[in-house]
Structures are given as structure tokens and as C-alpha cells.
């Protein structure tokens, strides 16, 4: 039992994390491991400085906490501190995956699942180096604070990830397909999806032509649109970037027009998937937040520190990538809300443009960049030849204003590899997605 002291704010986050990784390359077992890590991150705040420690010896948390107390200065008014006053005091047990814990599935069963899919990768002779991976993560968290918060909750993802080098003569392509889920049994029976993905990418390698660089209308798939929302605007909504410069709050006034009137971007940690964060790492309960609603700046993402500094409400976005780090403002699941078109209606008015179906990566500051993987021409309102595009770029705000069409259906994606990077904390699992999004003009290279 942790003994918290008066005159300080303190919290303790304990994570019991299990991970399994199985990997085959060219039909040979490369890796098979199951890891369990028990770690804790402790914070003490005295109203002036935060003191942090990370430990693997969770049997002696009190000793570490007492060490942090010794470094800090007692503050009898700590409960009146604007940061401390914002902390929620939730008490809850929310175990969403107790009836189907992936940590209890035998490693041999996970291996058999993966082995069943490997033959699909080599059906086309152009695949020269197939790599298949099974990955899962199951975490149980316990968060306690000196204010009385006491929360236990869990997190779970599992998935299959396939990379396949393809070569035919001088033509080369790095193929990729992934399936993420929150239940192990959801990973069964996806052979046809995998087969279709390999076939499409082989055809892309054989038939794609270099793009004619220039400004064109572009249609983004839910994957590309989700990454665009995450990179172009999600990071700008992380309000820790606003603390250093007081003028930022004027520049980013709620209510300001920042995009097309059909554009709404939402953020919510309660959505199952890789961005599932029912309570953040300060014990704040997840809630749906609009970043942009109908083209207008509607909100931003907060930790207690940033909410206090900007005098706004908590949003449930204080996250740490693991118990080696303190929570900072991060996204959970970020997505563009749907519109009123179907896909054919979306591309119908485009005389010449491009459809970005899958991407390698994306990033964004004032200018965003997306590196497409598979892309197609749009010609006279129809999909045409596959095209090689190294990057699409644009000014974030110009592009947000140039969104002029959205499909009705929204697809949210979960991945089990990669993740979001922010300074020292990389590969944080996040969810993202959206509808198919039409932008009237983007720079295509």
C-alpha cells in the first residue's frame, strides 16, 4: 500500500505489459518470444518542479517515492495549485479484455495462425523475400494518486504484419499488409484480404508509371486521410506546444476558421483499437473532443499542466509511451468525420488527379508530407493507371481549406507496428482514420 505525504502531489503508474512476437522470413522461423515487463513510473510535484523516477523493482515503490519526496520541497498549499486542482479523482476497475486475454493464448497457437498465412505470400513468383509477423500486447495498468484516484484498466491489441520484397527484372517494390485487432479470434480467416493486397501490389510494381509532378486534385483513402488528420492538425492541437509562447493562444483561438466547412476532426480515447485510452496516464477519463468542427477550431488536447496553463478543461490526452517516461500531451484515436458522398461520386468530377490508396509514412509542421505507397491516376472521373509518387505535400492550412468532398463511410484503423513519435517518445500506439477525402489541389511529386 502506497503512503502518500501531505504537502505534495504524487502519483504512481504501474504497468504489467505482456508482448509476444513471432516472425518468419522466407519460410524460416526468425523470432519467437513472449516478454512480460513490470514497471512503474512515479511523479512528485511540489508546485515548482516535477520529480520523476522509473523503476522495474515494483516491490519497493515506497522507497522510490520517498526518495522523490526528499528531493522536492513541501508545499502546504499544494492542493490549491492550478494543476493539482484539475486532476480527476476517478476510482474504477475497467477490464475490457478479461474474457479474451491474448496473453493467455499459447504461443504455439499464435505461431500456427501465422504459419497458415505464409503460403499466400509466395503465390506470386515476384515475391522474393516474404516476412510475416505476429505481434500482440496486453497491458494491465494501476494508477494511484495522492488525491485518492485508484484506477485499474487494461489494453490489448494483436495483429499480423507482412512485408514482401518484390522484384521482376529491373522493377522492384516493397509490399506491405497489416491486420490489427483487439481479439485473437478476429485474426482468423483473412487469407483473401492478404491475397488481394499482394496481388494489387505486384500489379503496381509491374504496371506503375512515374507521376507527372504538379498541382492536382487528390483523393485520400481513410488511411491517408487519417494520417493527414493526425500529422497536419492533430499535432498542432497538442497544447504543450502552446506553453512557451504566450502569443500562441491568440493565434490558436477557439472559434477561428481553420478549414473547409465540411471538415470535422475528432479525437477520442474510448474507441477500441490501438488508440484505446479509457483513462490517460494522469487518471483522466476519456472523452470525445472535437479539434475542428465544421471548419472551425473547436478544441485542443491537454494534460493537467497544459489545461491549467491555458485555463481549459482536461481532455484525457496525457500519455506516456511506457513506464520509462512521464506523460505528455498525445493523441489517442484521431479521425475525420464522414460526409455525404459515395466513392464514385467523390472522384466523378476529377478530370485529372490522383488517388492515394496506401502510404509509407507521413509528417507535418506548417507543411505536411505524405509518402504514398500505392497510388492511382484519376482520369475523367475514373480510376486509371497505378502511379509512383515519392511525396505529396502542401501547406496545412491551405489544404484544410481545400477539402471539398467526403464519403459517408468512415474507416478507423489500428496498427500493431510503428506508432506516433514525439521527440523522445516514439512508437506510441494511436488509432486514426476517416472517410475518403477529396482535396481540390495538392502538390504531387
Partner 1 sequence: MEKEFIKETLHTITLNITAGKIDSFREVEKTTGTVRVYENGCIGVAGCLGEPDEDELTEQAKEALSFGIPYPCRLDGAEERIELHDDEIIPVSELIPTMRAFLERLGEQCPKMAFSNKINLIYKKTEYHNSMGRHLLSSGRHLSIELLAQNRGSGNLFDTFFLWAGEHFDPDEVLAYFREQYDAFYVPADIEPGRWPVVTEPGNLFGTFLQHFVGDLYIAGASLVSGKLGEKVFHEKLTFCDDMDPGTSFETCFFDAEGCTAKNDKPVLVENGVLTGLLTTKKTSEEYGLPVFGSADAPYDGVPGIGFHSFWLEETARTLKELVPGKAVYVIIASGGDMTPDGHFAAPVQMAYLMENGRIVGRLPEISVSGSFFDLLGKDYLGTVHDCPFKKSQLTAVMMDVKKAGGGSNV
Interaction residues for partner 1, span 53-112 (CB under 8 A): 53-54, 56-57, 71
Helices of type H across 159-275? 191-207, 222-228, 247-251
Q: What are the strands of the beta sheet with 289-293, ordered from one edge? A: 296-297, 289-293, 265-267, 333-336, 431-434, 411-413
Q: Is the dihedral of CA 358, 364, 368, 371 positive or negative?
A: negative
Decide: is 11 part of the binding site for partner 1 (CB under 8 A): no
312's enclosing H/E stretch is none
Count how many residues are written for the chain. 445
CB 71, min distance to partner 1, A: 7
Query: Could you give the CA distance from residue 75 to residue 315 in angstroms, rounded to a whole number?
Result: 27
Decide: is 142 part of the binding site for partner 1 (CB under 8 A): no
Of 94 and 243, nearer to partner 1 (C-beta) is: 243
Q: Among the candidate windows 96-104, 365-373, 406-414, 427-435, which touches partner 1 by CB under 8 A?
A: 365-373
Q: Residue 182 in contact with residue 97, Cβ under 8 Å?
A: yes
Positions in 207-226 near partner 1 (CB under 8 A): 210, 213-215
Of 341 and 400, nearer to partner 1 (C-beta) is: 400
Options 62, 122, 294, 363; binder of partner 1; rule CB under 8 A: 363
Q: Among the candidate windows 217-225, 310-318, 388-396, 412-420, which touches partner 1 by CB under 8 A?
A: 388-396
CB 342, min distance to partner 1, A: 31
Decide: is 352 part of the binding site for partner 1 (CB under 8 A): no
In DSSP terms, 32 is beta-bridged to 22
Of 21 and 118, nearer to partner 1 (C-beta) is: 21
Distance linking the first and last C-alpha atoms of the chain: 59
Q: Is the dihedral of CA 214, 216, 221, 225 positive or negative?
A: positive
Of 172 and 351, nearer to partner 1 (C-beta) is: 172
For residue 136, the Cα-to-chain-centroid distance in whole angstroms is 16
CB 372, min distance to partner 1, A: 9
Options 82, 95, 98, 174; binder of partner 1; rule CB under 8 A: 174
Options 33, 60, 63, 385; binder of partner 1; rule CB under 8 A: 33
Decide: is 240 part of the binding site for partner 1 (CB under 8 A): yes
CA-based nearest residue to 234, from 101, 334, 128, 343: 334
CB 56, min distance to partner 1, A: 5
Positions in 252-291 near partner 1 (CB under 8 A): 252
CB 233, min distance to partner 1, A: 11
Decide: is 49 part of the binding site for partner 1 (CB under 8 A): yes
Options 96, 122, 395, 417; binder of partner 1; rule CB under 8 A: 395
Query: Could you give the CA distance from residue 160 to residue 158 in angstroms, rounded to a whole number?
Result: 7
Strand ranges for 26-68 from DSSP E: 28-45, 50-55
Query: Could you give the CA distance from residue 359 to residue 347 in angstroms, rounded to a whole number?
Result: 19
Query: Could you give the CA distance from residue 272 to residue 279 in angstroms, rounded to a whole number?
Result: 13
Would you give the binding string for partner 1 spanning residues 366-385, x where CB under 8 A is met?
A: xxxxxx--------------
- Count the site residues for partner 1 by CB under 8 A: 72
CB 264, min distance to partner 1, A: 22
Positions in 309-328 near partner 1 (CB under 8 A): 324, 326
Burial of 208 per CB tally in 10 Å (0-12, 13-18, 19+): buried
Decide: is 241 part of the binding site for partner 1 (CB under 8 A): yes
Amino acid at each position: 500500500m502506497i503512503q502518500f505525504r501531505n504537502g505534495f502531489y504524487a502519483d504512481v503508474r504501474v504497468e504489467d505489459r505482456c508482448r509476444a512476437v513471432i516472425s518468419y522470413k522466407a519460410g524460416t522461423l526468425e523470432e519467437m518470444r513472449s516478454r512480460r515487463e513490470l514497471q512503474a513510473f512515479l511523479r512528485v510535484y511540489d508546485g515548482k518542479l516535477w520529480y520523476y523516477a522509473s523503476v522495474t523493482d515494483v516491490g519497493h515503490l515506497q522507497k522510490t517515492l520517498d526518495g522523490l519526496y526528499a528531493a522536492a520541497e513541501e508545499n502546504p498549499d499544494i492542493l490549491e495549485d492550478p494543476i493539482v486542482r484539475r486532476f480527476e479523482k476517478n476510482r474504477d476497475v475497467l477490464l475490457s479484455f478479461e474474457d479474451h486475454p491474448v496473453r493467455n493464448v499459447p504461443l504455439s497457437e499464435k505461431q500456427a495462425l501465422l504459419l497458415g498465412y505464409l503460403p499466400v505470400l509466395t503465390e506470386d513468383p515476384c515475391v522474393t523475400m516474404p516476412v510475416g509477423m505476429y505481434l500482440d500486447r496486453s497491458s494491465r495498468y494501476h494508477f494511484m494518486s495522492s488525491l485518492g484516484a485508484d484506477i485499474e484498466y487494461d489494453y490489448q491489441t494483436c495483429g499480423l504484419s507482412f512485408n514482401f520484397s518484390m522484384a521482376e527484372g529491373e522493377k522492384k517494390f516493397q509490399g506491405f499488409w497489416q491486420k490489427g485487432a483487439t481479439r485473437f479470434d478476429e485474426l482468423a480467416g483473412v487469407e483473401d484480404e492478404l491475397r488481394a493486397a499482394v496481388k494489387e501490389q505486384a500489379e503496381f510494381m509491374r504496371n506503375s508509371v512515374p507521376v507527372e509532378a504538379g498541382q492536382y486534385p487528390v483523393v485520400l483513402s481513410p488511411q491517408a486521410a487519417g494520417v493527414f488528420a493526425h500529422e497536419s492538425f492533430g499535432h498542432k492541437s497538442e497544447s504543450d506546444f502552446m506553453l512557451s509562447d504566450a502569443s500562441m493562444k491568440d493565434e490558436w483561438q477557439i472559434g477561428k476558421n481553420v478549414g473547409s466547412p465540411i471538415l470535422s476532426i475528432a479525437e477520442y480515447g474510448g474507441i477500441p483499437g490501438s488508440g484505446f485510452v479509457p483513462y490517460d496516464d494522469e487518471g483522466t477519463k476519456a472523452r470525445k473532443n472535437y479539434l475542428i468542427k465544421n471548419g472551425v477550431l473547436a478544441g485542443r488536447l491537454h494534460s493537467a499542466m497544459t489545461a491549467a496553463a491555458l485555463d481549459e478543461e482536461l481532455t484525457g490526452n496525457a500519455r506516456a509511451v511506457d513506464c520509462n517516461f512521464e506523460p505528455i500531451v498525445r493523441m489517442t484515436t484521431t479521425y475525420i468525420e464522414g460526409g455525404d458522398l459515395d466513392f464514385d461520386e467523390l472522384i466523378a468530377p476529377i478530370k485529372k488527379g490522383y488517388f492515394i490508396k496506401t502510404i509509407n509514412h507521413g509528417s507535418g509542421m506548417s507543411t505536411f508530407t505524405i509518402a504514398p505507397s500505392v497510388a492511382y491516376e484519376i482520369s475523367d472521373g475514373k480510376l486509371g493507371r497505378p502511379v509512383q509518387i515519392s511525396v505529396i505535400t502542401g501547406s496545412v492550412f491551405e489544404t484544410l481549406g481545400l477539402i471539398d468532398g467526403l464519403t459517408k463511410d468512415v474507416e478507423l484503423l489500428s496498427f500493431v507496428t510503428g506508432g506516433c513519435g514525439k521527440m523522445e517518445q516514439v512508437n506510441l500506439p494511436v488509432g486514426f482514420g476517416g472517410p475518403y477525402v477529396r482535396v481540390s489541389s495538392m502538390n504531387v511529386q
